[in-house]
Structure 1
Amino acid sequence: MSSPIFALADEYVTLFARLHPMYAGMAGIKGDFGVASDLGPDATGERAKLGRDTLARLGSLESTGAADDLARLHMAERLESEAALFDAGEWRRALRVPYGLIQSLCSYVDLAPRGNEGQWRTTISRIRAIPEMLATWRQTMNAGIAAGETVAIRQVVEGARQARRNAESRVFDKHVKAYGSGSQAGDLAAAADAAYAAFIWVAEYLETQYAPHAVARDGVGEERYLLAARNTLGATLDARDAYEWGWEELHRLEDEMSAEAAKIVPGATLDEVIAHLDSTDLLTDHEAYLDWLSEKHHGALEALNGVHFDIDPRLMNLDVELVHGSSAGSAYYSGPSEDLSRPGRTWWPVAAREKFAVWGELTTVFHEGVPGHHLQIGQTKIVGDGLSRFAKSAGSISGHAEGWALYAERLADELGWHSDPATRLGMLKGSALRAARVVIDIGWHLDLPLPPAEAKRHGEKWNFDVALEVLTQRGRIASHRAHPEIVRYAGWPGQAICYKLGERAWIAARDEAKAAAGADFDLKAWHTRALNLGPIGLDNLAGVLRG
C-alpha cells in the first residue's frame, strides 16, 4: 500500500535500523546498516528523538482508509509508550537478566547467516563488534550511576555471572568449529577471544564499579511498574484486579490439574504424578530430544495447514535448534527475516540437562512454533501491503504476542491434541506457571500482601525466596528453570504478566466474535483476520477485531 502514513512507517524502520544495526540484524531488516550499535547515552537519545519526531509527523498526516487507521493506531501507541519510558529514565537502567543485552549479543551472532565466505564475514564482524558495543553500553550504565537511577543488586550479580558464563563456556566456539580451517579461521578465532575478554571485563565492571551503586530492593514500585506494564501489554493495567484474578486463575488450574492427574495414577497426589512422569516419560540424549522437537513442530504445521489455518508455504520452513551454554531458562523464538531468507526458529536451551521430560514440553512446542509464535509473527511478514513496515518489523507487543502463544496452547487442547492425559497435564501445568507469574510479578514489584490463606503457606511478604517457592510449588516449574525465571521477573517488570493477561484478552475477543456471529462463526476465518491485523495493544485488540 502507498500512503503518507505507510511511507512514514517505512522511513522510521529504515532510520531506526541505521541508528541501531544490531536491532536491524536481529530483526532481519533488509539492507546494509553496518554491524555495531552505539549503546551510549547520545545514541540512545538520538533513537528516542527519532521516535518522538516520527510521532509528531504521524499526527499531522491524513488517513486514506482502514489500513492507514490501523497503522496510525499501532505506531502511535508504540511510540508514545517508548517515549514515556525514555522520559522516565528507564534507558539508564540498561541491564536485564537473562533476556537482556548480554544474552542478545549471543543471539545476534547466532542469527547471522553462514552459507558462504561473505556471510561468514558477517558472523566475524558481529563477534568483533561485541567489545565496542559493550564499551558504549557501559557509558549508559555510568549515566545511570550519575543520575542515581540504577538497577537492583540482584541484576548486577546475575549479569556478572551471565557474562562470565558466556566467556567460560566459550559460546562462539561452536562457530569456530563449524567454520573449520578456511581462510578466515584466524580472524574468527581472534574475534571470539576478544569477545570473551570483553565479557570478563563486563563482569568485573559490574562487580567492582557498578555494584556499590546498585539498589537493594528488587521491586520497582507501582509507578515504574505501571509504566513498564503499559509498554509490554499495550494497555493500562488495573494491577490489583489482575493480582486477584491471577490467584483465582491459579486455584482453578490447580483443581483441573488434580482431576487430570487422577486419570494417570489414581489415588496419587499431583506432585506424585508429576514425579512419576518425570521419571518415566523421558528422552535421554540431545539427539533424541532434537528429533522429537523437530517431529512435533513439523507435525503441527502439517496438521493445521488448510484445516484451521491457511499457512503460507514460506512459513512451512521452521528451524529447531538446541542451545548449549545458555543462561536462559526457557525456550524462545526468533522470527523470519524481512525478506524471509532467514526462516523462523525455535531455540531450546539444554543447560546441563541430559534427561528431557517431554510430556511437559509438547505444549511449549505449540507455544513457540505453531499455532503460536511462528504462525503469528511469520504471518506479519507475508501478509502483504495491508500492514505497515512498522507493524511487520518494529512494533511487537509482548502482551499481544505472548497472549496469542498461550491462546495457541489452549487451542491445541481444544483441537484434541492433548488426548493423552500426561501431555494435557503438561499444558495445564504450563498455564498454572503463567498464572503464578501474574501474582508473583505484580505482588513482588508492588509489595502487595499475599491473600490470608496463601500467606499461611508461603509467608505474608513477597521477596525472592517467597517468589521462588510460589513458582516451584504452585507454578510447578522445572527445577533448571526456576532461578533464572525469578531473576527475569525482577529485571523485566511487567513482562511476566503478558502471557495470562494476553490470553485473557484473546479469549474475550474470540468469545465476543462467537456471540455476535452465532451459528455462523467461522474459527478459521477469525484466525485469519486476527493474524492479518498484525500486532495490536491489548486495549485496542477487541475493538479492532470487532471493526
Structure 2
Amino acid sequence: MTLEPNRLTRPASAIDAAANAYTERLLELDPGFATELGRPGHETEYRDLSPAGLAASADAALHALSELAGLEPMDDVDALTLHAMRERLGLALELHKSGWPLAELNNIASPAQEIRAIFDLMPTATVPHWEHISGRLANVPDAVAGYISSLREGAARGMVAAQRQVATVIEQCERHAAADGFFATLAADAALDPPGLSPDAGDAGTSLPAGLTAALAANVELARAGYGSLVEFLRTELLPQAPAKDAVGAARYALASREFLGSAVDLEETYAWGVAELDRIIAEQEAVAAQIEPGASIAEAKALLNADPARQLHGTAALTEWMQSLSNAAVADLAGTHFEIPEIMRTLECKIAPTQDGGIYYTGPSEDFSRPGRMWWSVPEGEDTFTTWAETTTVYHEGVPGHHLQVATATYQSGLLNNWRRNACWVSGHGEGWALYAERLMDDLGYLADPGDKLGMLDGQRMRAARVVFDIGVHLELQIPAQWGSGTWTPEAGYHFLAKNLDISAGQLDFEFNRYLGWPGQAPSYKIGQRLWEDIRDARAARDGAAFSLRDFHTQALNLGSVGLDTLKTALLG
C-alpha cells in the first residue's frame, strides 16, 4: 500500500470486482442511490418499490454471495470485505424471507418518506438539473403505486405496520400533497442557484425557461396526486387492517437489532445495561449541574442556561450561521492534530431542511466531492428559538468528528476500499455508534469544558440511553425498572418515561416516540454501538500498551468504511 495525501491505494482484487459488480447492480436497481452518490444517469427514476422490485434486490444479494463463495482473499482488506458482505447480504436475505420489507412503513425511514426526500439531494444549479427534478416528479405516481402494491401484499400475508404508524404517515403524506405542501412549494420556489454556488455557475440565473416552468407545474400536480393516492390507500384500505399493538415481539426485534448493529447482542442483558447506564448519566448530570450553580438540580441548571442570552439563537438564519461557524472551527482545529482530514473533506455545509418533521441528519458528499457533506436541521413549525448549550454536541455528532468525518473518509478512500465498502454498506450501530463515540471524545479532548456544553452532551447521551430502555422494554414488553414505575412496559408508560428523560419540544417528543415504535431496533443502535466502539478501543489500548496511539486507531478504524460491529471487532482486534 502507498500513501498519497492520506489516501491509501492497493491493487484491485477479484473480491473487489465482485463487490463492485454487486454495487453497480444496486445502482441499476435504485436510481435514488445513484443520486445520493452524485452519479449521472437515471436522474428521473425511482427504484421499483413493488414486490418484484424487492425480489430483484434479494436476487442480487444471492447472486453476489454465490460469486464470493468461490473466491479467496488476497489480503486483509479482502478478508474483511468477505466477512462484511457475508454478514450484510446474508441478513438481507433473512429479512426478505421474513416478508417484513413488504410492510415497511413508519414516520421516518420508509418509502413514504424516501420518495419525497430524494429531491433534497438533487442539484438545482442548471436547466438540466431542473429538468431532472421535473422528470422525477412525473414518476412519483408510479413509485407510489409500486409501494402500495408491496403494502397490499404484506397485508395479505398478515404483515401490517401498527395503526399509530399508518395514521402518522397519512398526516405526513397529506402535508406533502397539500396545495401549499412540499411539492407545490418546490415548483413555486423553482429557480437556478445564484452564480458561484456550483461548478456550473456559468449556466446560473434567476428563473427557469417558461416551458420548463410549465412542465414543472404540471408534474408537481402528478406528484401531489401520487401522494394523494397513497393517503387514500392508507386511510381506506391499510388502516382498517393495521394492528393496534405497537410492540413487535422478541423474534422480529432480534432480527431488526441485528440489521442495525451487525452483531447479535443479548437483548435482556443490553436492556439491564441500558437501565444502569441511564442511572450513571443522570448522576453525572447532577454533578455538572452543581458546577453551573452550587446546589442546583438538573432542571434548575438548564433553566439558568436557557435564560442566558449569550446561549440563545433566534430564527433559523441564526441557527444556520452558528452551526456553520462551530462546524468550521471543529474542522480547522482537529485536522492534522487528532484526525487525518484531507483538504477535500474539509467543506461541510450546514442547512435547514426543507421539511418540518423534526430531527437532525447528515447526508454524505458525492463521490467527487462536488456536492459536499451536509448537516440538515428539520425544524418543526413554530419553533424559532434554539439554545447553543444544548446543541453544541449535535454539531460534533453530525459533523466532525462524527458522521462527516466517518462518511467522507470512506468516500475519499477510493484506492483502498471497493465501491460496496465505501458507498453501499451502512450499519447504524457502526455509524451512529461512532457519532456518539465522537461526542464523548470531544469531551475527553477538552472541547466541552464549558459546563453548559457538557450538560448538553450528557443530555444527548441520556436520551440515547433512555432509548435503549424504552425500545427494548416496550417492544419486548419487559418489566419497568422500579425507579421508573411498575408493571410491564406499554407505549403510554414509555411516553411518560421519555418525557422525563428527553428534554426536547413537544413536537420533537411526539416525533421521536412514534419513530421508536415504528422503527424497532434502530434507536438503541446508537448507544449500543457506542458501547461496542468504546469496548473495542479499550481492548485495543490494553493489548497495545504503550504503543497504543488514539489517532492511529481512529485512522485505521475510519479507513474501514461502515461495517457491522462484529466485523469491526474482527478488523481491529483480530
TM superposition score category, shorter chain reference? over 0.9
Which amino acid in the other structure matches residue 84 of structure 2? H
Following superposition of structure 1 onto structure 2, how do residues 82-231 of structure 1 map, counting pairs within 5 Å?
A: 82-168=92-178, 169-172=180-183, 173-174=185-186, 176-179=188-191, 181-183=207-209, 184-231=212-259
d(CA) in 2 for partners of 1:356, 1:178:
29
- Answering whether residue 469 of structure 2 is matched by residue 439 of structure 1, we say yes
Off by >4 Å, runs of 4+ in structure 1: 29-34
Cα pair distance change 1:49/1:209, threshold 3 Å: same
User: CA shift at 1:27, angstroms?
Assistant: 4.0
Q: Residue 484 in 1 paired to residue 539 in 2?
A: no
Alpha-carbon contact 1:333-1:345 (below 8 Å) kept: yes
Say if 2:301 is the partner of 1:273. Answer: yes
Q: CA deviation at 1:388?
A: 1.7
Residue number in structure 1 paired with 2:337:
307
Q: 2-side partners of 1:45 and 1:222: how far apart?
A: 26
Distance 1:534 1:422, change over 3 A: same
Structure 1 contact 17–33 (Cα < 8 Å) conserved: no
Q: What residue is the counterpart of 1:362 in the other structure?
A: 392
Letter paired with 1:177:
D
Q: Aligned-pair distance for 1:33?
A: 7.0
- Relative to 1, partners in 2 of residues 1:221 and 1:56: Cα closer, same or farther, differing over 3 Å? same
State the alpha-carbon separation in 1 of the partners of residues 187 and 453 from structure 2.
Answer: 35
Match of 2:564 among 512, 515, 537: 537
Question: Which moves more between the two structures, 62-71 or 177-186?
Answer: 177-186
Question: How many correspondences in the alignment?
Answer: 543
Deviation per CA, 1:458-500: give whole Å up to 9, x if none: x422222222211120233343311111111111111011111
**Which shows bigger deviation, 198-207 or 23-32?**
23-32
SS of the residue 2:175 aligns to: helix
Q: 8 Å contact 2:174–2:227 — kept in the other structure?
A: yes
Tell me which amino acid in the other structure corresponds to 2:359.
S
**In structure 1, what is the equivalent of residue 7 of structure 2?**
none
CA–CA distance in structure 2, aligned partners of residues 145 and 32 of structure 1: 31
3-state SS in 2 of match to 1:356: strand
Write the distance in 2 (CA, Å) between the matches of 1:147 and 1:461. Answer: 29
Is the contact between residue 103 and residue 159 of structure 2 (CA under 8 Å) also seen in structure 1? Answer: yes
Whole-angstrom distance in 2 between the partners of 1:279 and 1:194:
48
Q: Distance in 2 between matches of 1:62 and 1:513?
A: 28
2:265 pairs with 1:237: yes
Moved more, 280-289 or 387-396: 280-289
Q: Is the 8 A contact 2:437 2:533 kept in 1?
A: yes
Q: CA deviation at 1:517?
A: 2.2
Q: Name 2:292's counterpart in structure 1.
A: 264
Structure 1 counterpart of 2:34:
24
Q: Which residue of 2 aligns with 1:512?
A: 539
In structure 2, relative to structure 1, the CA distance for the partners of 1:361 and 1:423 (3 Å cut) is same
Code of the residue aligned with 1:506 in structure 2: it is W
Q: Look up the equivalent residue of 1:190 and give its one-letter code.
A: A
Taking the aligned partners of 1:2 and 1:265, their CA distance within structure 2 comes to 59
1:451 deviates by 1.8
Equivalents in 2 of 1:395, 1:417: separation in Å?
Answer: 31
Unaligned runs of 5+ in 1: none
Question: In the alignment, does 2:521 pair up with 1:468?
Answer: no
Unaligned runs of 5+ in 2: 1-10, 192-205
Structure 2 residue matching 1:283: 3-state secondary structure:
strand
- The equivalent residue for 1:253 is 281
1:326-337 equivalent positions in 2, closer than 5 A: 326-327=356-357, 329-337=358-366
Matched, 1:61 2:71: yes
Is contact 1:176-1:185 (8 Å) kept?
no
Q: Quick check: 1:433–1:477 contact (8 Å CA) kept in 2? A: no
Structure 1 residues 441, 89: closer, same or farther in 2, change over 3 A?
same
Evaluate the alpha carbon distance shift between residue 424 and residue 175 of structure 1 in structure 2; reply closer, same or farther with a 3 A threshold.
farther
Please state if 1:394 is matched with 2:424.
Answer: yes
Q: Quick one: distance in 1 between partners of 2:286 and 2:80? A: 44
Aligned-pair RMSD on alpha carbons? 1.6
**Aligned AA for 2:368?**
D
TM-superposed deviation, 1:250:
0.2
1:219-239 CA-to-partner distances (Å, cap 9, x unmatched) read: 110000000111110001200
Say whether residues 1:497 and 2:524 are aligned partners.
yes
Distance 2:491 2:315 in 1: 33
Calculate the TM-score normalised by the size of structure 2: 0.92
Partner Cα distance (2:355, 2:556) in 1: 40
Confirm or deny that 1:419 pairs with 2:449: yes
Structure 1 residues 175 and 278: alpha-carbon distance in aligned structure 2, compared to 1, 3 A threshold: farther
Task: Give how far 1:106 is off.
Answer: 2.7
Contact kept in structure 1, 2:190 and 2:207, CA below 8 Å? no
What's the TM-score once normalised by structure 1's chain length? 0.96
Partner SS state of residue 540, structure 1: helix
Q: Distance in 2 between matches of 1:282 and 1:232?
A: 35
Distance 2:542 2:223 in 1: 56
Cα distance in 2 between the residues matched to 1:157 and 1:279: 37
Q: How far has the Cα of 1:205 moved from its partner?
A: 1.4
The separation in 2 between residues aligned to 1:477 and 1:249, in whole angstroms, is: 20
Counterpart of 1:230, as a letter, is R
Change (3 A) 1:177 1:33: closer
> Is the contact made by 1:30 and 1:338 (CA closer than 8 Å) also made in structure 2?
no
> C-alpha distance in 1, partners of 2:42/2:189?
27
Structure 2 residue matching 1:418: 3-state secondary structure: coil
Question: 1:163-221, CA deviations, whole angstroms, 9 ceiling, x for partnerless residues?
Answer: 11222352142464141642111122222232222222212211111111111110110
Contact 2:187–2:220 (CA<8 Å) still a contact in 1? no
Secondary structure of the residue aligned to 1:332 is strand
Q: Does residue 1:344 correspond to 2:392, yes or no? A: no
Taking the aligned partners of 2:39 and 2:242, their CA distance within structure 1 comes to 36
Distance 1:392 1:205 in 2: 38
Pair 1:430-2:460 in alignment? yes
Q: Could you tell me which amino acid in structure 1 is paired with residue 490 of structure 2?
A: N
Alignment of structure 1 residues 372-391 onto 2, 5 Å: 372-391=402-421
Is the contact between residue 29 and residue 393 of structure 1 (CA under 8 Å) also seen in structure 2?
no
Conserved 8 A contact 2:261-2:564: yes
User: More deviation in 395-404 or 60-69?
Assistant: 60-69
Tell me how far apart the structure 2 counterparts of residues 480 and 277 of structure 1 sit (CA, whole Å): 21
